[in-house]
Amino acid sequence: MIVVWYGVTVEDTSIIDTKKLTKTYGDLTAVDNLDIQIEKGEVFGLLGPNGAGKSTTLLMLTTLIPPTSGTALVNDFDIIRQPDQVRKSIGIVFQDPSSDEMLTGYENLKLHGLLYDMDSALREKRIVEVLALVELTDRKDDLVKKYSGGMRRRLELARGLMHHPEILFLDEPTLGLDPQTREHIWKYIKKLATEKKITIILTTHYMDEADRLCDRLAIIDHGKIVVLGSPDLLKKDLGGDVIHMRTRNFDIESLKELDYVKNVKTDDGSISVTVKDANQHLQDLLGRVGKVESVEVRPLTLEDVFIHHTGRAIREGAAEGGWAEKAMQARLRK
């Protein structure tokens, strides 16, 4: 979009621009006046606990549910006035399984190609291309019900890319998957971002996932942005390291006054101190605290950022029912 601003032409590179996007269900405000600009080509994360409004935001941006108020531009198209154009330019991998397990991997992709009105030559070419990308070529003729959770996720990722969308939405891409498979999926997402230069918007409640993948992320809680920035910056803002000590004798107030101490928290018999740089200040800090039973030093994580801004830990959630669980339910079909 080209914006003329005080006579100067400025290129506005944002590919998604939400304007007071809001969704309420009765008394519950799932998404509350959200204003986010997402740049072309970046991997943007919406991080927050279950029920924070991430998926609702995604469903509104993909035109599947209408906002209660406000709107958004996706690829310069308005989600309310031009939903058809929006849908043509996006791809999405949903939180729950969305492939038909009574069909083969190939047939699921063929179905997708037909839904996006591709002729057979283009369809076949793209199927070969995306199958190779997610390394499922040799399993393409197996029924999806014979796939593992990770393979199914990869198939859905391939499908989301098949029509060459400008923007790819991923809703909790690794929910319920085992660690190796998550690692595998992350590899593909990284590859897409660097090689294909697709704008990727993902939701997650896994801190490590957000940290690994996102160029920028917004921490969302109760439908509002709590803080927004690159993972590194968010961490740097809070300090550098956390020093965790088990001790009985400490004086919090005096620690808080030290200029290198960013934050002090106590828990039954232990104390966590966030400092700028543990290497430089550990000795001094230990001197002040006195006798300790144990000391643990670790770099600051996004989890700490989250706790700092929301005052609580992210709820590790089985509350919504995991992806694998839904897949099992779906298997009971018919």
Scanning residues 225 to 284, which ones bind another protein (CB under 8 A)? none
Q: Is the dihedral of CA 163, 168, 174, 180 positive or negative?
A: positive
Stretch of 39-47, 99-107, 254-262, 295-303 contacting another protein, by CB under 8 A:
99-107
β 261-267/199-204 pair status? unpaired
Choice from 20, 35, 69, 117 touching another protein (CB under 8 A): 117
CB of 40: closest distance to another protein in angstroms?
21
Query: What Å distances lie between residue 233 and 61, 225, 229, 306, CA to CA?
Result: 27, 16, 6, 13
Query: What Å distances lie between residue 40 and 45, 47, 84, 203, CA to CA?
Result: 14, 19, 20, 17
Choice from 37, 82, 98, 247 touching another protein (CB under 8 A): 98
Is position 88 an interface residue for another protein (rule: CB under 8 A)?
yes
CB of 319: closest distance to another protein in angstroms?
17
Cα 122 to the center of its chain, rounded Å: 31
Pick between residue 32 and residue 100 the one whose CB is nearest to another protein: 100
Pick between residue 12 and residue 100 the one whose CB is nearest to another protein: 100
**Residue positions counted in the chain:** 334
Choice from 95, 174, 203, 204 touching another protein (CB under 8 A): 95
Burial of residue 36, with CB atoms counted within 10 A of its CB: 0-12 exposed, 13-18 middle, 19 or more buried:
buried
Is position 111 an interface residue for another protein (rule: CB under 8 A)?
yes
β 199-204/43-47 pair status? parallel
Lay out the sheet containing 167-171: strands in order across: 90-93, 167-171, 199-204, 43-47, 216-221, 224-229
Is position 324 an interface residue for another protein (rule: CB under 8 A)?
no
Is position 116 an interface residue for another protein (rule: CB under 8 A)?
yes
Lay out the sheet containing 270-275: strands in order across: 261-267, 270-275, 241-246, 294-299
x/- track of binding to another protein for residues 118-137 (CB under 8 A): x-------------------
Distance, first Cα to last Cα, the chain: 49
CB of 182: closest distance to another protein in angstroms?
19
x/- track of binding to another protein for residues 142-181 (CB under 8 A): -x---------------x----------------------
* CA–CA distance, 215 with 246 (Å, rounded to integer): 36
Site residues, another protein (CB under 8 A): 59, 62-65, 84, 87-88, 90, 92, 94-100, 102-103, 107, 110-112, 114-118, 143, 159, 326-327, 329-330, 333-334
